[in-house]
Structure 1
Amino acid sequence: MPIDNQAEIEITSFAWVPEFARGFVRDLRPRWACEEAGLSYRQRLIGFETAKSEDYRREQPFGQVPAYRDNEVQMFESGATVFRIGQRSERLMPRDPAGQARVLTWVTAALNSVEPFVFDLVNIDLFNKGEAWTVERRPQVIDTLRGRLTALSDWLGDKDYLEGEFTAADIIMGTVLREIDDKDLMAEFPALVAYRDRCVARPAFQRAIQAQLESFAAEPVAA
């Protein structure tokens, strides 16, 4: 779906990030949700200086992306924005309260019960690569993450998606699993590899990541 500058939904993202971060910045999540839901959106691209500004901090207290707004709400945090978009589309969330509660549960689980342990590994392998302390710490991080992935794999079983049908929760969990770069660890969980690959093979994901990649300028943007 082409980005529509007149669209009701606005997603704020960075105009430039380093190469290693491209395709992983969190605004990818609401972009993907909009693509799945068939909702057009406009993008607001900002530089790191804008993100530090007092005005932007009133929208996003931590100076991160995404920030989100539509004609009813103004929000931040990728999980919350994806849930908001999901509430507007039966493609992403059941209409009954029980079904919506299940989606919210899995969005929260992805962000709180899985992603922090994934980021511990990213912190070692990417942001602190080569540091002496990582030699002792990494096996502990792997063991803890392995436990989380085992529980997730046991739940998933032979289902295509977390709740059977694709929902907003799979957007969050799918992007969390994309961040694991340890192929040996993931090889222990073929069901999760298949699940992750199934999520990112969806046309809506492909459109969303292409839109994000196309938004980045060639050089850092200060404003």
Structure 2
Amino acid sequence: MPVCDNAATVISGFNNVPPPVRGQVRDLRIRWALEEIGRDYRMELFDAMAPRTDQYREWQPFGQVPAFEDGETRMFESGAILLYLGEQDERLLPTDPATRWQAITWLFAAVNSVEPFVTQVTALDLFHAGEAWVAEARPGVVQLAERRLAVTQKALRDREWLAGPFSIADIVMVTVLRCIDHTAILEGFPVLAAYKARAEARPAFIQALTEQLDAYSAPAGE
């Protein structure tokens, strides 16, 4: 589904980011969710290297992306936005209470129990590469991330998705796992690797990623 220029739903994103993190900026989560339900949206793009305006900070106080509005609600934080969208469409969040709360639980687990450990690896590799202290720190950081991945793999077991049908929990978890695409860490977790591949094969993900990558201008610094 192409981004609609006059859509009521608006997401903020960037029009340029450093090449190593392209395809990983969190507006991808919201794009993906909206593609899953066929809902038109438009992007409001900002220069990632430039300070955000006071007007934007009224929308997103931390100056990050994504922020979201739909004519009724203005909000920020990708997890909160996904919950809001899930409340509106059972294709993103099941209506059965037990399954629904499992999905919500796994969304929070992805954000709070997995992402902080995985993104520490990303930060060392992509933003501190070459610094003297990284060689000593990285093995311990990787080990902590692998412990969280092992727990996640054990919980997933032979299920297709984290909580019944595909849901916002899977959108968050898969985008977290993508943060270590530059490493071979997931090779040690074949269940998670297969789970991630299933999600990335979904047409809605492919479209969302394509739209995000197409929005980027020349590489930062050019």
In the superposition, the TM-score normalised over structure 1's length comes to: 0.93
Q: CA 1:141–1:186 in 2, change beyond 3 Å: closer, same or farther?
A: same
Give 1:184 deviation, angstroms.
Answer: 3.8
The CA RMSD measured in Å over matched residues stands at 1.8
Residue pair 2:18, 2:219 contacting (<8 A) in 1 also: no
Q: CA 1:220–1:135 in 2, change beyond 3 Å: closer, same or farther?
A: closer
Residue pair 2:17, 2:48 contacting (<8 A) in 1 also: no
Residue pair 1:26, 1:78 contacting (<8 A) in 2 also: yes
Q: Specify the alignment match of 2:145 in structure 1.
A: 145
Q: Specify the alignment match of 2:178 in structure 1.
A: 178
Q: Specify the alignment match of 2:100 in structure 1.
A: 100
Q: Which runs of 5+ in 1 are unaligned?
A: none
Q: Deviations over 1:126-177 (max 9, x none)?
A: 1111211112211111111111011000000000110131101100000000
Q: Specify the alignment match of 2:3 in structure 1.
A: 3
Give 1:52 deviation, angstroms.
Answer: 2.1
Q: Specify the alignment match of 2:163 in structure 1.
A: 163
Q: Which runs of 5+ in 2 are unaligned?
A: none
In the superposition, the TM-score normalised over structure 2's length comes to: 0.93
- Counting only pairs closer than 5 Å after superposition, residues 44-193 of structure 1 correspond to structure 2 as 44-48=44-48, 51-181=51-181, 183-193=183-193
Q: Deviations over 1:170-193 (max 9, x none)?
A: 000000001113644212110000
Give 1:49 deviation, angstroms.
Answer: 7.1
2:138 & 2:47 partners in 1: Cα distance?
34
Q: How many residues align?
A: 221
2:172 & 2:156 partners in 1: Cα distance?
15
1:199 & 1:177 partners in 2: Cα distance?
11
